[in-house]
Amino acid sequence: MAPVPHQGHSFEAVFAVMCGLTIVDSSNGAATVKGNWRDMPEGLARAVQEFADDVGRLHTPLAVLVALQNVSYCTVGVEVLGAWAMPRYFKDEITDWREGENLFFHPDVPRSFWPDYLKQFAEHGYSTLTLKARRTSVPFTFAEAARDESVSQAGWIFGFLRNHNIRDGLYCTYRAWAVVFISSKLLVLRLSERTFLAAAAQAAIGQIEEIVNSRRKRRRGKKVDTFDMTARELEVLQQRALLGSNAAIAKALDISLQTVDVHLRSARKKMKVQDTAIALLEAYKRGLIEY
């Protein structure tokens, strides 16, 4: 499968790849498409067109992942685990993956997922899925990876995923990033569905890369004022923005309601505001949290 062009290329280029067509970049950067996309099922064609139109207007990685799951679940019945930068070299430490910087999970993913993964990684090392993703740019299901004997020694990941009610998924990579779809059932994807998911994932990665790179440039240009908030206070603010209620935050972070209140009061005091909604707005304007 040819790669979807990065942000800035036309929708036709993205759509062409999804339909399995050939894309050739001309000298002036325009994409030349060879083939006919009329054989693409109408429902998938409409879904990818709407997604390609919408994703370029989103401003946070979490918003991109939410939009991606909306289209993937409604169209194919799969959810989104997240998106992350692939380790460039196997000697790289997994701690180089920093949630909120080059590692993003869909808001529906339990907060315990990443800490649990880190514990398993510390004991077993890289998983079958990561190893296989480093060896191929072709999207693959978890079930297909499990049958790959060349990486079978790292199969601890499948038991770990089952503990989180994940039986199968589709692992898609593009350039230095990966997007992973998940399902509680064994996946049986038609070629058109697999191609659709891969193209949607690549479009999502293109936008996430743009957002991440833009943030890095802004940070290099000026010092970000964090109001001397602790990491926990920022985390509680982020969860308030995503979940909307203190009860939901307490459940997600496995802390008491009283502890949530303490962190929010402290954050408001440091930001010199009386209202949590104003605190969230100020934190968002400074790039401290996402919506």
- Within this chain, do residues 147 and 275 fall inside the same structural domain, yes or no? no
| Residue 223 to residue 288: CA distance in whole angstroms | 12
| d(C-alpha 282, C-alpha 276), whole Å | 10
* Pairwise CA distance, residues 202 & 196, whole Å: 10
Rounded CA separation 56/9 (Å): 11
Considering the chain, what percentage of its residues have pLDDT values greater than 90? 35
pTM metric for this prediction: 0.68
Query: Does residue 124 have a pLDDT over 80?
Result: yes
pLDDT at 291: 63
The answer to whether residue 174 is domain-embedded is yes
Q: How confident is the model at residue 249 (pLDDT cuts 50, 70, 90)?
A: confident
* pLDDT tier for residue 73 given thresholds of 50, 70 and 90: very high
Spatial CA neighbour of 152 closest among 172, 171, 127, 173: 127
Q: Answer yes or no: do 139 and 248 share one domain.
A: no
What is the reported pLDDT for 88?
A: 64
Angstrom distance (rounded) from CA 18 to CA 3: 9
State whether 73 and 196 are in the same domain.
yes
Q: Indicate whether 144 and 60 sit together in one domain.
A: yes
Residue 193 belongs to some domain of the structure: yes
Element (H, E) at 237: helix 231-243
Q: Is residue 66 part of a domain?
A: yes
Domain count, the chain: 2
Please give the pLDDT value at position 89: 54
| Residue 13 predicted with pLDDT over 90 | no
Does residue 182 sit within a domain? yes
Sign of the alpha-carbon torsion through 75, 79, 85, 87? negative
Mean of pLDDT values over 184-210? 92
| Residue 39: burial class (beta carbons within 10 Å; 0-12, 13-18, 19+) | exposed
Q: What is the pLDDT of residue 213?
A: 85
Confidence of residue 122 (pLDDT cuts 50, 70, 90): confident
Structural domain for 183, as ranges: 42-220
Q: Are residues 78 and 187 in the same domain?
A: yes
* Claim to verify: residue 146 and residue 257 sit in the same structural domain: no
Same domain, yes or no: 177 and 246: no
- Residues 62 and 113 occupy one common structural domain: yes
- 214 vs 264, higher pLDDT: 264
Q: Please tell me the predicted confidence (pLDDT) of residue 5.
A: 40
Write down which residue in 220, 251, 269 finishes a domain: 220
β-pairing verdict for 31-34 and 140-141:
unpaired
Same domain, 104 and 187: yes
Supply the CATH number for residue 120's domain: 3.30.450.80
Final residue belonging to a domain, choices 175, 191, 220: 220
75 pLDDT exceeds 50?
yes
Lowest mean pLDDT, pick from 19-23, 80-84, 109-113, 265-269: 19-23
In-domain check, residue 37: no
CA distance 4 to 200: 9
As a residue count, the chain comes to: 291
- Comparing 40-44, 51-55, 279-283, the range with the smallest average pLDDT is 40-44
Q: Are residues 154 and 174 in the same domain?
A: yes
Same domain, 193 and 111: yes
Type of residue numbered 65: L
Using the 3D structure, point to which of 170, 193, 220 is the last residue of a domain. Answer: 220
Burial of 232 by CB count in 10 Å (0-12 exposed, 13-18 middle, 19+ buried)?
Answer: middle
What span, in angstroms and rounded, lies between the C-alpha atoms of 229 and 207? 29
Residues 194 and 250 in one domain: no
